[in-house]
Chain A
Amino acid sequence: MPQFFNKKLLLLLVSIIVLVALIGFSLREREELTWPEQFLKDTTGWVGNVFNKPVSGITGFVGDLKDLQHTYDENKKLKARLDEYVLLKTQVQDLKEENKDLRDNLKKEDDLRKYSPTQATVIGRNPDRWHEMLTINKGKRNGVEKNMAVITSNGLVGKVKSVTNFTASVQLLSSIDKANRVSAIVQGDDKAYGLIEGFDDKKNLLLMKRIPYDKKIKKNSLVITSGYGGIFPKGLLIGKVVDVKVDQYGLNQTAYIEPSTDFYDINNVMVVQREVDGEPKESVGEDEVK
């Protein structure tokens, strides 16, 4: 029997080597998935799409019923805010026009804020909750490309990690990955630049690191994307500051940000394509952080 045992041991060793090689292969920063991967993703994406329709119909109905219960209270609150909204809308309209005029005067066409959205539906989520990823039903055929920003009506949720012909995988801001960074601004009298990197999943807060230590950051100030990463448009809402801490060496500050979207309840998203082409330089907003 020793011969038999050796064969199995050999098989085990070989498969461990294959395992390590495969992990190494997939950890590499890849421009595109290999075609078998794309094929598998498209096929399962199609099946997921078929299953998703009835399921989302039912959950949508249940959600509607729940909403109906709160309609009266909500209506009251919304009515109270309606006047405020009208005022704000006229102001925004006014500012927009002024902005356009000034831009015309300067003959400045480029705008980091401009983007064109593609609507998509979420058809799956990674069940192994280590890599927070969603699958959406739009792919290369619909103009989705790697690294595009993904937003909901509430704000930024993540970026496209990989794309096949008919589906795309979205990496959420909350997923723990060293390559998952977004250049951001804390709004206020004194703008502070920093990078969103990391997520405290116990408190559900995003971490915004590398903010210069001398910036005073007020709680509840809003955080938006800066557009300096070369990929994302400017001005997408990320969340608001709830806490600020000085990091261990006292050189930088870390802000804790409550995300404006609930990362666990995403059904419809928009993939946004920035209109100004970013150079493929990866030196993100650090230059701005003085």
Chain B
Amino acid sequence: MKHFILSFIALVFFVFESIFAQLFAGDAFGDDKIVVPHFMMIFVFFLTMYGSRKMGMLYGAILGLTYDVVYTEILGIYMFLLPFLAYLISKCMKILQNNILIAVLTALFFTAILEVVVFQMNIILSFADMGFGEYMERRLLPTILLNLVFIIISCYPLKRIIEKLDLQGETD
């Protein structure tokens, strides 16, 4: 049952990202800005913070692989990154105190890290030709803003749902 609810939420976020990109791909946020929705990743981060590390990494790997297969067609990048970042988050949350503001900031910080690492990977694979300065201005900042808005909207409902499922019991 737990897995059913979680996978349903994950699936909704997964599809919603693509629909969001389809609807707002154009100039909806200023002429040459590119905003990238990372809703699914944020779900994985919250799952790690309020659920358990194991679940976070498991969902991270499966969702990352699906994302790679369906959207980017370059296998491995998200599949590797999501569980890795989920692991780092769980380490961070042991040091930081567990209140919702800290959770929001941590999720945002890791979204930014994810975005930068993916950018570097694409530079290496020569699927991107942007300087870092240009990237910061045109992609990173708008993306962070969009995801901040999404985190703020979704953090409380996500926290409630995940805590209700009570995943702490099956921790590491």
A23–B34 CB distance below 8 A = no
Contacts of B71 in A (CB 8 A): 124, 126-128, 131, 133
Contact segment of A43-51, A67-75, A243-251? A43-51
Q: Does A111 contact B (CB under 8 A)?
A: no
B18–A127 CB distance below 8 A = yes
Q: Which residue of B lies closest to A169 (CB)?
A: B73
Q: Does B32 contact A (CB under 8 A)?
A: yes
Contact of A127 among B21, B69, B119, B134 (CB under 8 A): B21
Majority secondary structure of chain B interface residues (helix, strand, loop or mixed): helix
Most chain B CB inside 10 Å of its own CB: which residue of A127, A133, A135: A127
Q: Does B104 contact A (CB under 8 A)?
A: no
A26–B37 CB distance below 8 A = no
A264–B25 CB distance below 8 A = yes
Within 98-142 of A, Cβ neighbours of B (below 8 Å) are at 122, 124-131, 133-135
Contact segment of A14-22, A188-196, A225-233, A280-288? A14-22
B69–A40 CB distance below 8 A = yes
A126–B72 CB distance below 8 A = yes
Q: Does B86 contact A (CB under 8 A)?
A: no
Contacts of B34 in A (CB 8 A): 129, 201
User: What range describes how many residues of A lie at the interface?
Assistant: 35 or more
Q: Which residue of A lies closest to B115 (CB)?
A: A128
Contacts of B16 in A (CB 8 A): 51
B76–A26 CB distance below 8 A = yes
Q: Does B105 contact A (CB under 8 A)?
A: no
Within 104-130 of B, Cβ neighbours of A (below 8 Å) are at 118-119, 122, 125-129
Q: Does A159 contact B (CB under 8 A)?
A: no
A44–B37 CB distance below 8 A = no
Contacts of A15 in B (CB 8 A): 80, 84
Give B34-49 as 1s and 0s: 1 = Cβ < 8 Å from A's Cβ atoms.
1011100000000000
Contacts of B138 in A (CB 8 A): 202
Q: Does A276 contact B (CB under 8 A)?
A: no
Contacts of B126 in A (CB 8 A): 176, 178
A176–B128 CB distance below 8 A = yes
7 new A-B contacts at CB < 8 Å, known A18-B76, A36-B69: A52-B19, A124-B19, A129-B25, A131-B74, A169-B73, A176-B129, A201-B34
Contacts of B122 in A (CB 8 A): 130
Q: Does B170 contact A (CB under 8 A)?
A: no
Give chain B nearest CB distance to A66 CB in angstroms: 14
Q: Does B132 contact A (CB under 8 A)?
A: no
A128–B76 CB distance below 8 A = no
Contact of A133 among B69, B73, B128 (CB under 8 A): B73
Contact of B66 among A44, A51, A264 (CB under 8 A): A44
